[in-house]
Chain A
Amino acid sequence: MVNDNSKIKKLYAIASSNRKYIFTLPLKNIIKIGKRNYEVKLKHDEKFGTYILFKNRKYPVEIIRSRQNKYEILFNDISYVFTIETPFSYKRMKVLNKQKGKKEKEIIKAPMPGKIVDVLAREGSQVLVGEPIIILEAMKMQNEIQSPVNGIALKINAKPGTIVNKDDVLVEIKVEA
């Protein structure tokens, strides 16, 4: 798609919080806050590992995941997910988002690896927001996994006594108003 990279004048970093940060190219080591410019430096040394130096403070930074133009960054112990868009791909993304419309199916994934202790909903039964559906045991604790929506439990993959990995699909729910 991008054959001549030098034509790209700016990039958008869209955070999962929906905030948009615009950076002009070539990327400078400067961040503007209010009317003042501050220098930002990416550094790496044996003692601290990789970090960003900003306003005389070091912030630890790491890449957790990266796929296509999507980046999950751990910055000062908090993770952020960004998609980086060129002006062209950004426009296209906005058009696509408009066409997508409302979500019909909610997929519940295991938030952590663990063991299914109990399944409280049945396939075809109605579930309400906040209703516990599955009890998952992980690291000493039993965790209730609740339905995030009102709807009908379409498919339940979780079975009591089985071990699940993080992000395994446990339940699919048909969303109802």
Chain B
Amino acid sequence: MGIKRILIANRGEIAVRIMKTARRMGIETVAIKTAVEPSALYLSYADFVYDNTDDDSEIPVFLNIDRIIEIALKTGADALHPGYGFLAENAYFAQKCLDNNIEFIGPSPDSIYKIGNKTIARKIALANNIPMATGSQGNIANEEEAVKIAEKIGYPVIIKAASGGGGRGMRIVRKPEDIEKMFIIASKEAEKAFNDPSVFIEKYIENPKHIEFQIIGDKKGNIIHLGERECSIQRKHQKLLEEAPSCALDEKLREEMGNVAVKLVKAAGYYSAGTVEFLLDSDKNYYFMEMNTRIQVEHPVTEEITGIDLIEQQIRVANGEELQLKQEDIKINGWAIECRINAEDVQAGFAPNPGKIEKIYFPDDDYVRVDTGVIAGSVIVPNYDSMIAKLIVKGKDRKEAIKHCKLALDKVWIKGTKTTLPFFRMLVRHPKFTGGTFTTSFIEKELTQYFYNSEYEEMLAAWFATKLFIEENLSENSINLNFNESREIDPWLLNKRISQI
């Protein structure tokens, strides 16, 4: 192995995930300690910790290209893993790494630029006869052009950021009178998020399924796919639950779409891990949407059903090794589901709910895998995303995986912040989810309740509230006898009190 020491230019669960594999491979790791999270869990997995707590810059260090390169050089790292988000899909950053003799664990800067830019990716796809939704030839110059092109394609249309991802800079337009306004909003949002205001327009596919193929390729041009993931359970283009494989694909369609994904990636001269995203309509027509040139949040479901460590493959490819896997070696075994447990308030439209994790336990059944960057005492800070953990469950088939998921969800114990757990408890009981007929519009259009509680849970909560009331107002040592008088009590003080009841 040429790579001896990897700088992890990331934090949270993905930093932990990368360091676990690196350690198993006998490679040293360097993590960056920040002032925002000076005692984060990921730091304890690293062989070396670079103290960056005195950095008073307003941009997070994980977005600061010069600073990251400087840290890599100072700590003697010969390779860098960007994780996901932050600089993971920044071609300029990847080039900077190479210029400084730091191996970038990911694709080449050239392919990040080409295929990561949706307009260029569309051109490559078009030249290779990859099925796509009708759309603009390139970026849209101004409002007038947006009006014209949308008219030509036919409503509804979707405006997307050329350099975008994660739902930002994306707007669905159903009526001609909205197109100008939405063009401006999308463009502004794109400029802010990606430093690039360019947007393009595509026909909007109604109620599709989101199907993506995991691919892995080496620097010698060998490329294979590791089957698909279905990520249709999403809200505002943010994925909440992913599974692999997808019940919408049969063996024939899987092979066909997999081959298309490989063809596209080959045409772009791509290597390392990547994801080719498609939309699948109700008639099983598929359309290439975009490619992600990084390891994805949902990669564990693919790992669980193929038995392949994707981080290890990324490192080996970066190290110049030839892919040892052949397409015919890839066997899909069982079913895996991932729930993103986020610090969000599902009762308040999934609003972020940052806070300190007081207690946290996960089930230890052998069908459960947990990827997390937090422990009891960790703080979910508002500076970064709201993820607490990824709960990944496996079963021999979809039915068993859902059963296991239901059991595992009831065993997760998190105190200190509201989480998306009640949402998943609802989802695994919903006939549309268990039946597999859901699409990307399921959450926003079909759900009327975003959480599950059994019939007596409200009653138990009522009993608890009544007990508190009695304790505070009617008992001998009440803190306040006259409960009509206004007062505020610190909830933590109350929590302390009830522990003594």
Interface residues of A (CB under 8 A from B): 1-2, 5, 8, 11, 13, 15, 17, 19, 21, 23, 25, 27, 31, 33, 40, 42, 44, 47-50, 52, 54, 58-69, 71, 73-80, 82, 84, 111-113, 117-118, 135, 138-143, 166
Interface centre among B349, B462, B466, B488 (most CB of A within 10 A): B462
B358 at the binding interface (Cβ < 8 Å): yes
Residues of A within 8 A of B456 (CB): 31, 33, 54
Assess the A54–B494 pair: CB atoms within 8 A: no
**Contact residue among A23, A48, A111, A141 (Cβ-Cβ distance under 8 Å from B348):** A111
Given the complex of chains A and B, what is the CA–CA distance between A141 and B413 in angstroms? 28
Chain B positions 464-478 with a Cβ under 8 Å from a chain A Cβ? 464-470, 472-474
Residues of A within 8 A of B448 (CB): none
A interface secondary structure, majority: strand
B interface secondary structure, majority: mixed
B92 at the binding interface (Cβ < 8 Å): no
Assess the A42–B491 pair: CB atoms within 8 A: no
Binds A, one of B13-21, B98-106, B416-424: B416-424
Residues of A within 8 A of B345 (CB): 79
B283 at the binding interface (Cβ < 8 Å): no
Total cross-chain contacts (CB, 8 A): 169
B174 at the binding interface (Cβ < 8 Å): no
B457 at the binding interface (Cβ < 8 Å): yes
* Interface membership of chain B positions 313-357, coded 1 if the CB is closer than 8 angstroms to chain A and 0 otherwise: 000000000000000000000000000000001011101100000
CB distance from A88 to the nearest CB of B (A): 11
**Contact residue among B189, B463, B485 (Cβ-Cβ distance under 8 Å from A40):** B463
Chain B positions 160-200 with a Cβ under 8 Å from a chain A Cβ? 166-168, 185, 188-189
Given the complex of chains A and B, what is the CA–CA distance between A95 and B9 in angstroms? 62
Residues of A within 8 A of B487 (CB): 67-68
Assess the A80–B462 pair: CB atoms within 8 A: yes
Question: Can you name 6 A-B pairs with beta carbons within 8 Å?
Answer: A49-B359, A75-B464, A79-B345, A79-B418, A112-B351, A141-B167
Assess the A42–B453 pair: CB atoms within 8 A: no
Q: A48-B413, A63-B495, A77-B419 are in contact. Are A82 and B465 (CB under 8 A)?
A: yes
Residues of A within 8 A of B167 (CB): 141
Assess the B348–A112 pair: CB atoms within 8 A: yes
Residues of A within 8 A of B494 (CB): 63, 66
Assess the B352–A112 pair: CB atoms within 8 A: yes
Given the complex of chains A and B, what is the CA–CA distance between A67 and B501 in angstroms? 20
Q: A15-B462, A23-B463, A78-B422 are in contact. Are A50 and B499 (CB under 8 A)?
A: yes
Residues of A within 8 A of B419 (CB): 77
Given the complex of chains A and B, what is the CA–CA distance between A67 and B486 in angstroms? 7
Assess the A59–B458 pair: CB atoms within 8 A: no
Assess the A68–B498 pair: CB atoms within 8 A: no
